[in-house]
Amino acid sequence: MKKIIMILVTILFMLCAAVPCFAEAAWTEDVPRLRMEQQKKEYRTPQGQVCIVTDYSRLTLLNAEAFPALAKRLEETHNREWKYNLEDDARESYDRAVELKKYRPEDYMYFLLEERVWLNHVDRNIMSLYVEFYQNRGGAHPNIDIRSYNFDPATGNFITLDDVLASGKRNEFREKFVKPALEKFKTERQLFYYDNYKTIVDDLFQRDYAGEPPLTWTWGEEGITMHFPPDTLAPSVVGAVEAFIPFKGNENLFNKKFLK
C-alpha cells in the first residue's frame, strides 16, 4: 500500500511540473511565431568580382495556419516588396557598381543594400516590427532609413497610431509626450536638432493623419517609441532620433485594448 501511495505521489508531482509547460505551449499558439531568414544575393562584374550584395529578411510564420491573414500580408507587403525593390535597385545600380570596381578592386568594396528586421513586440493584439535599411554605394557615408510594420495578428491589417492611442489623444500625445521625450533624448545624448524640428514633427503628424505613413513607431513591453530616421529632425551625423513614452502612469493616453 505504501508503495502504491509513493507511486501516486510521484505521478502527481510529474503532472504538476508539466502544467506550466502545457500552459506555455497553449499560450504561444495564441500569438504569431515569426521566423526571419536573411536572403542574400551577390551580383558580379563580367570579370567575376562581387560588385553588389543585396540582403533582406524573409518573414514567415511558423504557425501560419492559425494566422492565415497575417501570413499572407507578410508575404505581400514585406517579402515580395523587398525582393522586388532590392532586385530593381541592383539593376539600376549595376553599371555604377562595376565602375567602382575598376578603381577599387578590393574584395570588400561593393555596393551593399541590406534590410534587417527586429521583432519588437508580439501579443494577441499587435505584432510590431522595427526595420532598418542600410545602403552603402561606395560613398563617404552610408544611407540609413528606418521603418516599422505594426500588424493586427488576426486580420493582417496595419495598425495605425490612432488605433493604439485613446480617442482624441493625438494632439496631446504629440505636444505633451513626444516633444518632451525628444528633448529628453537630446539632453541625455548631448545631441543637437534642427532649429525647426518641432515644426517638422507637427508636419509629420499632420501628414500621417491624412493617410500617409511618414511616422515610424514601435510598440513594446513598457511603452511606445517614435523613431525619426537620420536627417529628419537632425543632421545625418546625429543618427536616428527616438522618443520613448512609457505606458506606466500614462494609461489614459492609450487604447486599453493594447495594454496588458
Output the pTM of the full model: 0.84
Largest Cα span, the chain = 88
The three cell numbers of residue 38 are 536573411
Instruction: List pLDDT tens digits, range 103-124.
Output: 999 999 999 999 999 999 999 9
The three cell numbers of residue 141 are 557615408
How many whole angstroms separate alpha carbon 75 and alpha carbon 187? 41
| pLDDT at 16 > cutoff 60 | no
- Residue 242: count other Cβ atoms within 10 Å of its Cβ: 17
| Confidence (pLDDT) at 210 | 66
Same fold across 32-159 and 160-260: no
- Please tell me what DSSP assigns to residue 79: I
Give 214's pLDDT tier (boundaries 50, 70, 90).
Answer: confident
- Residue 135: count other Cβ atoms within 10 Å of its Cβ: 16
Domain spans of the chain, in order of start: 32-159, 160-260
Among 205, 207, 236, 242, smallest CA distance to 223 is for 242
Q: Which CATH class is domain 32-159?
A: alpha beta
| CATH of region 160-260 | 3.90.640.20
- CB-count burial class (<10 Å; 0-12, 13-18, 19+) for 76: exposed
Instruction: List pLDDT tens digits, range 70-92.
Output: 999 999 999 999 999 999 999 99
